[in-house]
Amino acid sequence: GKDGYRHFMEKELHEHPLAIGQTLQRITDPTTRQLVLPEMPFDPATLPRATITACGSAFYAGMVGRYWLESIARLPIDIDVASELRYRNPPQPNQGMALLISQSGETADTLGVLRVLKKEQQKIVSILNVEHSTMGRESDLVLGMVAGPEISVASTKAFTAQLSVLAALTLTFARKRGVINAQQERELTNHLLDLPSRAAEVMKLFGAVRVMARVIAQARDVLYLGRGICMPIAQEGALKLKEISYIHAEAYAAGELKHGPISLIDPSVPVVAIAPSTILFDKTLSNLQEAKARGGRILAFTDAKGAERLSDIAEHLVILPDVDAFVAPILYTIPVQMLAYEVALLKGTDVDQPRNLAKSVTVE
Ligand code: F6R
């Protein structure tokens, strides 16, 4: 049941801390506090490259995974949505890995890629919530998330659980590829293991998010901006808003704003920024100043330090706990999904069963 919540989506948003915590706990060695994944069906040290694929939200989780695996584990990645990759016929390396991400394990296009790449001799590793699924049976290795059942059509806690597994995979590969030292690994691992507590603090932000939601609910179009590792979180936010509130939203890499979409900006098109104070903060800030100068209404998710710099230009801020840049995409997902939920409430849509959508897309 809904445990007293109005919707499954509301309940599942509250389960983010649990989904992250349980997923990490399953792969944390209790004595060393090291993240330990099952043995890979190949040697990560000599893996030449990997392909990541998925659909929808799971694809955006894969985009975060690409940033991590490339920048931390130094592994070259090809990534595409499954419906495209399926028919692209790209050359595959000897002994490569295909990494599939799916909550249900039944999505037709992702399964289609699994079968195509298996024929190409790629080792199939799947990150799944439903482990006893078709993808689970056909994979060489399943990395399970422990998110629990997700009933709401719009994915929430499965996304942060997927990211938790991807982060653990990144650290494991980085260790085996010899590109990270023990102390760096320990620090990054600790940031991850601290996340359930930080995520629990984020649950207190529903009120602040609701204020922001009132601006969005009036709009016909919304622009989401992020940079680097937070760009896919902007994409996840725009998808979730479209999906459950039926408001048109687009996500852009903040640096792309001046290459076209800036012409859309006026007071009727709110700009939502995912802007933790990481190394790219100043660049995002200057993009937001450009949007503001053209009459844009700026709404931002940031931390205390970012808030000081954004207070002049932003109409509403949601201020998150300080976290390391490595784990910021996981934490920032939560209020971004909360925003879509609060807007849908204001719009009075069918939050758990949005029109035209099914929880599991088993046809092409
Ligand atoms: C978005 C959403 C969909 C799914 C997509 C993939 O909220 O729920 O975009 O993420 O259909 O589904 P799975 O993960 O089951 O393969």
Spatial strand order in the sheet of 141-144: 77-81, 50-54, 97-102, 123-128, 141-144
Which amino acid makes up residue 122? Q
pLDDT (0 to 100) of residue 346? 98
User: Which residue shows structure tokens 């085996």?
Assistant: 176
Q: What whole-number distance in Å separates Cα of residue 319 and Cα of residue 163?
A: 21
pLDDT (0 to 100) of residue 364? 86
DSSP 39: P
* Ligand 1 centroid, distance to 191 Cα (angstroms): 27
pLDDT (0 to 100) of residue 363? 85
Question: Probe ligand 1: pick from 9, 64, 102, 103, max atoms within 8 Å of CB?
Answer: 103
ipTM: 0.99
Could you tell me the pTM of the whole model? Answer: 0.98
Q: Bridge-partner residues for 97, per DSSP?
A: 50, 123
* Ligand 1 centroid, distance to 356 Cα (angstroms): 14
- Using the predicted structure, report yes or no on whether residue 95 has a pLDDT greater than 90: no
- Using the predicted structure, report yes or no on whether residue 165 has a pLDDT greater than 90: yes
pLDDT in tens, 170-207: 999 999 999 999 999 999 999 999 999 999 999 999 99
Q: Give the catalytic positions in this structure.
A: 359
Q: What whole-number distance in Å separates Cα of residue 265 and Cα of residue 302?
A: 21
Which amino acid makes up residue 189? T
Residue 70, judged by CB atoms within 10 A of its CB (0-12, 13-18, 19+), counts as middle
Mean pLDDT, to the nearest integer, of 228-234?
A: 97
Question: Probe ligand 1: pick from 13, 86, 107, max atoms within 8 Å of CB?
Answer: 107
pLDDT (0 to 100) of residue 360? 86
Percent with pLDDT over 70 in the chain: 100
Collapsing DSSP to helix, strand or coil, 253 comes out as: strand
Q: What whole-number distance in Å separates Cα of residue 177 and Cα of residue 217?
A: 47
> Closest residue (by CA) to atom 10 of ligand 1?
57
Q: What whole-number distance in Å separates Cα of residue 310 and Cα of residue 177?
A: 39
* Ligand 1 centroid, distance to 7 Cα (angstroms): 18
Token pair of 169 as six digits: 């995979």
